[in-house]
Structure 1
Amino acid sequence: MNVWVLRHGEAEPHGSRPDPERTLTAHGREEVLRSAAELIGRPLTAIYASPYVRAQQTAQLVREVLGFEPELLTVDWLTPQTRPQTVLEHLMDRDNVLVVSHNPLVGSLLGLAQHGHLQQPEQVHTAGLAELEGDLPLAGAMTLKGIKHP
């Protein structure tokens, strides 16, 4: 199974509005477009995104770049403070999906999936795109094929 993990693009500064309502900056949209280009030709079956505005905007930009027909799937298990193990549980029986979320979840999820613990989170910049591969989405059972930063 393959799972692509995308951190949202650069957003408005903290404090400009409530965190779930922060939107992408112009630079953040450009970052997302560069990362979305990396997904062209990938066999995506679904795009899951956090309900936070900046993640929704990121996922929608990717969807538009790819000409991805299925609806965007908004899920509450991709918010910043979700436990990475919870995300892995939700990815069971789902292959070739893109998840769009936030740090610290993104870094912790990548660390847990490949190392089996939370002590080695990955550093993921805004609009960073990671690819995980493995037989099952279990802690320590996946390989990080790489992270591309725009």
Structure 2
Amino acid sequence: MKLWVLRHGQAEARAVTDAQRPLTETGRREALRMGEHLQGETLEVILASPYLRAQQTAELVRQCIGLRRAVVTVDWATPDDDPLAVLDRLAERSESNILLVSHQPLVGTLLSLAVEGHRRGHYPMPTAGLACLEMPLPALGVATMLELTNPTSLAGQ
């Protein structure tokens, strides 16, 4: 399985609730930049947190890469969800090339668990940070990190 993990783009600092924070214009540009980076990948599905900023990021990427399938909203990918449960949920998926759009601290901890088998690893995931993991199945310590990037590091390319 190839798992792409994308943190949402920059969001407004305030909204009625945290879940309703929309992307800023910078966040929209970040999402589009990462979508451009993913062009040519054979993504089968985009899974996204129900939070507005993740939904907006996922939709911008979906449009950019031309994926016909709608974004699939998953209620288990919010900032405070358990990354072990996320691995379990991913193991239930039949697709072999998945993009998960979520939040910190979930994404950083998920990467640490999948690659190192524990929660102590540090993976910088600024807004619109993107990681690509290759793994035989979603489990602790079995993934290989193929890529770890963000819009700023791609700006010079």
Range into which the TM-score falls when normalised by the shorter chain: over 0.9
C-alpha distance in 2, partners of 1:36/1:16?
A: 26
1:22 matches 2:21: yes
- 1:48-106 Cα offsets, whole Å, 9 max, x none, are 00000000000000011011101110010110011111111111143101000000001
- The number of residue pairs the alignment matches comes to 149
C-alpha distance in 1, partners of 2:18/2:62?
A: 23
Aligned identity (percent) is 49
C-alpha distance in 2, partners of 1:67/1:94?
A: 18
C-alpha distance in 1, partners of 2:66/2:146?
A: 25
C-alpha distance in 2, partners of 1:7/1:125?
A: 7
C-alpha distance in 2, partners of 1:84/1:121?
A: 14
Counterpart for residue 3 of structure 1: 3
Deviation, structure 1 residue 16: 3.7
SS of the equivalent of 2:38 reads coil
C-alpha distance in 2, partners of 1:6/1:35?
A: 9
Runs of 4+ in 1 over 6 A off after TM superposition: none
Counterpart for residue 121 of structure 1: 122
SS of the equivalent of 2:81 reads coil
SS of the equivalent of 1:38 reads helix
Deviation, structure 1 residue 120: 1.2
Counterpart for residue 112 of structure 1: 113
C-alpha distance in 2, partners of 1:121/1:99?
A: 19
C-alpha distance in 2, partners of 1:20/1:131?
A: 25
Deviation, structure 1 residue 134: 1.2
Superposed CA RMSD in Å reads 1.0
Deviation, structure 1 residue 142: 0.4
C-alpha distance in 2, partners of 1:138/1:26?
A: 36
C-alpha distance in 2, partners of 1:43/1:50?
A: 21
C-alpha distance in 2, partners of 1:62/1:16?
A: 23
Counterpart for residue 81 of structure 2: 82
Counterpart for residue 103 of structure 1: 104
Deviation, structure 1 residue 121: 3.5
C-alpha distance in 2, partners of 1:70/1:113?
A: 27
Amino acid at match of 2:2: N
C-alpha distance in 1, partners of 2:148/2:122?
A: 13
Output the TM-score relative to the length of structure 2.
0.92
Amino acid at match of 1:100: V
SS of the equivalent of 2:47 reads strand
